[in-house]
Amino acid sequence: MGYFIDNPPTISEISTEIKTRDVKYKDLYLTVKTGIRKITKYIIHNDERFTVEYIKKKIDNKLESEDLMINEYPERSYLYITVGNDMMQVTGRKI
């Protein structure tokens, strides 16, 4: 069952960085700062559906008026990232 967030936190900074694990494996490290002290970090793996370069481009080119929403399903290592009206199901987790 879903829930409604009356006052969603204001994002003060978003940083993305791609790191290469191996010759063919890349990870995207996403850091979201909300408010003064709240920092949430995610690791997103290269996937068949979306490459880390595409995800980084979507997040970095997000308009200020667009919302960023991240839902985590840790039992399956999925993140659902919504930027504006576009939703991406990616393999990743909160770190």
- The two counts, helices (H) then strands (E), for the chain are 1, 6
pTM of the model: 0.84
Q: Is 38 a member of any domain?
A: yes
Task: Give the residue-averaged pLDDT of 24-42.
Answer: 89
- Asked if residue 3 belongs to a domain, the reply is no
20: in domain: yes
- In degrees, rounded to 5, the angle at the alpha carbon of residue 30 between the alpha carbons of residues 9 and 61 is 80
pLDDT tens column, 38-83: 889 999 998 888 999 999 999 999 888 888 889 999 888 999 999 9
Mean of all residue pLDDT scores within the chain: 87
- 74 lies in a domain? yes
Q: Which domain holds residue 54?
A: 11-94
Res 87: pLDDT: 92
